[in-house]
Amino acid sequence: MSGKTGGRSHRNVKPEGQSGMNAVDRLSVFKTYKLFVGGKFPRSESGRVYEVTDAQGAWLANAPLSSRKDARDAVVAARKAFGGWSGATAYNRGQILYRVAEMLEGRREQFATEVAAAEGIPRPKAAARVNAAIDRWVWYAGWSDKVTQIAGAANPVAGPYFNLSTPEPTGVVAVLAPRDSSFLGLVSVIAPAIVTGNTVVVVASEQAPLPALSLGEVLATSDLPGGVVNILSGKAAELGLPLALHQDVNAIDLTGADGELAVELERAAAENLKRVLRPQPGDSGKGAWSADPGTGRMLALVETKTVWHSMGV
């Protein structure tokens, strides 16, 4: 901050709702952005931070620069939360996700401001993206008790058995969040992973991590059990490898990894046969994340369990 010119009392992230107040007369209270791990808000274990700037290069905030040990701790937290979250009823998970949307609704202004600064887009456009993100969250919340109906089946078998297939959560999912879409893209990768009962470790966009770190504050106040979503900020290249190599991670979503890194991580992920979601062509560029997401992301992170049950006595 010392490098800032003294005359700049307005920061880009100041909510517009306050512009009526005489903001020049008071000192801004800068926010310390922190990680979200296991339902708590730790700093990076390494003590490192890095400067986050807006699209024009002006300083916005310092974000924690997570280390591989933060990634390890996040995986431990996610694993600990998995039993409870995957064991919760689909109805209960849906209610909690809907509650998250309720909390997001009350913070639309804040997210719109952060998204506008992070992505360098006009505020109305940012507000529209935040609205789309909340709508998407609600849309996924609705899927919690319906996904079994489209991904499960009562299979006809040649014997006196009921034969039922149901989708089960894969486990701990490492997610490299989209680099460009700091909030809509972020929500579009987290919600489909957790709605089926997975727990996630998310590496936020390196350039635009602030909306993701603020999302942690929303999740912490939304009845979501601690550890279901863990959010790290830092370099995808630094955090991706320990997560891809981690033996206790069951799947990895490489959306935020560029070509070469994605190949390297996929190779590392093969070690314990992780499920790998490769970056999709439609995940970046103009109009990314605005289309109907479909069920692909949910179904990519479930395992089919088939049960044979004898009929009659």
Partner 1 sequence: MPTTVPAYGSEAAERLASLADVTASDGALRRFLHGLPGVDAVGLDARAATLGTRSIKTSAKAYAIDLAISMIDLTTLEGADTPGKVRALCAKGVRPGDGAPRVAAICVYPDMVATARQAVADSGVQIASVATAFPAGRTALPVKLADTRDAVAAGADEIDMVIDRGAFLSGRYLEVFEEIKAVKEACARPTGTASDGEAKGATRSAPGGAAHLKVIFETGELQTYDNVRRASWLAMLAGADFIKTSTGKVAVNATPPVTLLMLEAVRDFHATIGVRVGVKPAGGIRTTKDAIKYLVMVNETLGEGWLSADWFRFGASSLLNDLLMQRQKLSTGRYSGPDYVTVD
242 binds partner 1 (CB under 8 A): yes
247 binds partner 1 (CB under 8 A): yes
How many angstroms separate the CA atoms of 191 and 265, rounded? 22
23 binds partner 1 (CB under 8 A): no
How many angstroms separate the CA atoms of 8 and 44, rounded? 29
- Angle subtended at Cα 215 by Cα 213 and Cα 216, rounded to the nearest 5 degrees: 70
Q: Smallest gap, in angstroms, from Cβ of residue 271 to partner 1?
A: 7
Beta carbons within 8 Å of 146's beta carbon, 6+ residues apart? none
One-letter amino acid for residue 108 of the chain: R
> Site for partner 1 (CB under 8 A): which residue of 32, 267, 271, 307?
271
DSSP assigned state of 23? G
Q: Smallest gap, in angstroms, from Cβ of residue 239 to partner 1?
A: 12
275 binds partner 1 (CB under 8 A): no
246 binds partner 1 (CB under 8 A): yes
DSSP assigned state of 42? P
- Shorter beta-carbon distance to partner 1: residue 71 or 127: 71
> Site for partner 1 (CB under 8 A): which residue of 75, 200, 252, 302?
75
- Shorter beta-carbon distance to partner 1: residue 61 or 77: 77
Site string for partner 1, 102-121 (x = CB under 8 A): --------------------
Site string for partner 1, 26-65 (x = CB under 8 A): ----------------------------------------
- Shorter beta-carbon distance to partner 1: residue 94 or 171: 171
Closest to 251 measured CA to CA, from 279, 270, 272, 275? 275
Residue whose entry in the numeric block shows the structure tokens 């020049």:
24
248 binds partner 1 (CB under 8 A): yes
- Shorter beta-carbon distance to partner 1: residue 5 or 247: 247
Q: Supply the DSSP string of 249-310, one letter for each residue.
A: --EEE-TT--HHHHHHHHHHHGGGT-EEEPPPGGGSSTTTTTS---SHHHHHTEEEEEEEEE
Q: Smallest gap, in angstroms, from Cβ of residue 247 to partner 1?
A: 5
Taking the alpha carbons of 187, 193, 194, 198 in that order, is the dihedral positive or negative? negative
169 binds partner 1 (CB under 8 A): no
> Site for partner 1 (CB under 8 A): which residue of 14, 43, 48, 72?
72
Q: Which stretch binds partner 1 (CB under 8 A): 7-15, 132-140, 151-159, 240-248?
A: 240-248
Tell me if 157 sits within 8 A of 229, measured CB to CB. Answer: no
Tell me if 303 sits within 8 A of 165, measured CB to CB. Answer: no
How many angstroms separate the CA atoms of 297 and 168, rounded? 14
135 binds partner 1 (CB under 8 A): no
Size of the site for partner 1 (CB under 8 A): 10
Q: Which stretch binds partner 1 (CB under 8 A): 93-101, 118-126, 245-253, 296-304?
A: 245-253
- Shorter beta-carbon distance to partner 1: residue 72 or 99: 72
Tell me if 148 sits within 8 A of 175, measured CB to CB. Answer: no
Q: Which stretch binds partner 1 (CB under 8 A): 102-110, 146-154, 219-227, 241-249?
A: 241-249
How many angstroms separate the CA atoms of 93 and 224, rounded? 9
Task: Catalog residues that contact partner 1 under the rule CB under 8 A.
Answer: 72, 75, 79, 242, 245-249, 271
